[in-house]
Structure 1
Amino acid sequence: MSVQPQITQRDLRNRSREIMDAIQGGQSFTVTRDGHPIGQLVPLRRRRRFVFRREFAAMSRAAPAIDLDAFRADQDTTADTHPDDPYAR
């Protein structure tokens, strides 16, 4: 994992366009104030593109078969069967 470059609050104010362009290009930054990290600027994840129905159908045909009983058994072993009541006090 690469270390994010640090920028000061003043750099952010004075070079905002340059920094925003870098973020749009995928760069992340740690913002500092008085030498202490106070936040991170990270690019948003790109939205997924639309997949046409024919393309999805073709991908689905190539997908491996699923054993529904084994899938349900896996679900049952990992699911919390007694969730806490969020309204219980």
Structure 2
Amino acid sequence: MDAVQSGHSFTVTRDGHQIGELVPLRRRRRFVPRAEFAAMSQAGPHMSLEAFRADQDATLDDEASDPYER
């Protein structure tokens, strides 16, 4: 288990036949460092702020409604 915890994977066999794998769980990151986010953002496509806002305005429902109304 210490080896799995440190990142090693194992194939489980029975009578020489593979029946499973013992692998470490993938841990989800909850935080992306600012430098990494900035690098990913620079590699992305350019986005027009005006076009983005126009798309938002086109789909926005300006009428206030009661969420409990049916």
Normalised TM-score (structure 2):
0.48
**Bigger-Rg structure (1/2):** 2
Structure showing the higher helix proportion among its residues: 1
TM superposition score normalised by structure 1: 0.39
